[in-house]
């Protein structure tokens, strides 16, 4: 099935016959807005109305082609203050209408950013129709054809041939290769102008980088923590040698069950330090406890997911980006479900007060997204201060 060409940018679409081919044989035509190189990846849709710069720079999208459901993208441009990492890790970017920026904060366009980082993009297609397909049929593999070297049937075949992300460790690809202290001079943490000064960093946390977003480290520093970011495969013994007051587990891409080395290290660390996990960090915590994870039909990607805190009864509107989820029935005794997704009742948080850990599936750093969950960073600090556990 080939999508009908709309009147929007019809002339450009005819001049530039670029397209997206899905594994089910569907073809969506548009025109290139990024680096002129074909790409293959897993199609996911993001329902965020804003924050596309943070989405583009989120390492958790490694291996994926991101489809924005908001029909208007590009209005706020790109700027040096809002990235969530030093680069772009996604495979491709798809929008309906790409606009020129009109924000005073903008120092560049989306199209320029995609080209500078060698990421292909496609505009001019019906992204809502594509989103409905993914919702109805689940996540699909897609081939983004912008080089004008292959036909539609070949692109469909290439999409089908791509092995996908199940069982694939992408955390090792996006993680830092060497440990470092986050923002020693405070410049990155204060870059948004949210405060003139930072509190003293009287606590130290080691943060596993499975694809960490900068705003996670920023939020930890804002509650008085010095953050030492370490590679994804750092051994448990090396973590303890740093003598941190707590351990933070970051977000990351692809299948958590494939990051087996991290699971083994966490089994040696849980119970020895206060721990906070986010997204993949949450999934890895569950796996280290002996629980299981599974793939969602089309994942959770956006800034409008309602989550209920089972301890207080309050509902938070959260930012999310994940395709895998913790199996509640597989959780061992002592690991309590603390949060639930109100859209599909999937696990959004677990905790064990005795062992001093908690984790959430959603993104409390709010980049992009609502800020209702930022209390979790203060809670982590409180857990550290009240913990009798000391590095040994």
- Enzyme catalytic residues: 279, 363, 365
Q: Say which residues have a Cβ less than 8 Å from residue 20's Cβ, sequence separation at least 6.
A: 27, 28, 30, 65, 94, 122, 125, 130, 142, 143, 144, 145
H/E element holding 49?
none
H/E element holding 188?
none
CA Rg value for the chain: 21
**How many other CB atoms are found less than 10 A from the CB of residue 14?**
11
H/E element holding 266?
helix 260-269
**How many other CB atoms are found less than 10 A from the CB of residue 376?**
20
β-strands 18-22, 97-98 pairing? unpaired
**How many other CB atoms are found less than 10 A from the CB of residue 97?**
15
320 vs 243: CA distance, rounded Å: 31
Q: What is the 3-state secondary structure (H, E, C) of 21-47?
A: EECCCCEEEEEECCCCCCEEEEEEEEC
274 vs 380: CA distance, rounded Å: 8
Order of strands across the sheet that contains 336-341: 180-181, 225-231, 203-209, 246-249, 275-278, 357-360, 347-352, 336-341, 293-309, 315-326
Are the beta carbons of 53 and 82 closer than 8 angstroms? yes
- Closest listed residue to residue 349, CA positions, set 312, 384, 390: 312
């Amino acid at each position: 099935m080939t999508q009908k060409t709309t009147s929007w940018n019809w002339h450009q679409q005819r001049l530039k016959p670029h397209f997206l081919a899905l594994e089910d044989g569907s073809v969506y035509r548009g025109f290139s807005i990024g680096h002129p190189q074909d790409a293959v990846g897993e199609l996911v849709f993001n329902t965020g109305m804003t924050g596309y710069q943070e989405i583009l720079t989120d390492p958790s999208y490694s291996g994926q082609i991101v489809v924005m459901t908001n029909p208007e993208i590009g209005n706020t441009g790109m700027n040096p203050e809002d990235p969530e990492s030093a680069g772009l890790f996604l495979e491709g970017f798809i929008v309906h209408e790409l606009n020129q920026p009109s924000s005073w904060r903008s120092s560049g366009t989306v199209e320029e950013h995609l080209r500078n980082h060698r990421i292909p993009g496609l505009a001019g297609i019906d992204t809502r129709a594509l989103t409905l397909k993914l919702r109805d049929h689940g996540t699909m593999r897609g081939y983004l054809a912008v080089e004008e070297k292959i036909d539609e049937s070949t692109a469909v075949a290439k999409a089908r041939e791509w092995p996908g992300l199940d069982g694939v460790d992408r955390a090792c690809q996006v993680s830092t290769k060497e440990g470092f202290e986050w923002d020693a001079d405070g410049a990155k943490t204060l870059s948004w102008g949210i405060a003139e000064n930072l509190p003293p960093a009287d606590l130290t946390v080691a943060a596993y980088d499975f694809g960490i977003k900068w705003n996670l480290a920023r939020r930890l520093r804002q509650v008085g923590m010095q953050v030492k970011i370490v590679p994804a495969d750092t051994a448990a013994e090396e973590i303890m040698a740093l003598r941190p007051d707590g351990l933070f587990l970051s977000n990351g891409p692809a299948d958590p069950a494939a990051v087996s080395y991290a699971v083994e290290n966490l089994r040696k660390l849980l119970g020895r330090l206060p721990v906070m996990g986010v997204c993949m960090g949450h999934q890895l915590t569950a796996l280290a406890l002996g629980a299981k994870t599974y793939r969602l039909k089309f994942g959770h990607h956006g800034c409008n997911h309602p989550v209920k805190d089972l301890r207080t009864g309050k509902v938070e509107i959260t930012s999310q980006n994940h395709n895998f989820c913790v199996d509640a029935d597989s959780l061992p005794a002592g690991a309590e479900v603390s949060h639930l997704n109100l859209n599909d009742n999937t696990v959004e948080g677990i905790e064990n007060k005795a062992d001093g850990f908690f984790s959430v599936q959603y993104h409390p750093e709010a980049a992009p997204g609502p800020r209702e969950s930022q209390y979790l960073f203060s809670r982590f600090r409180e857990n550290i201060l009240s913990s009798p556990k000391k590095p040994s």
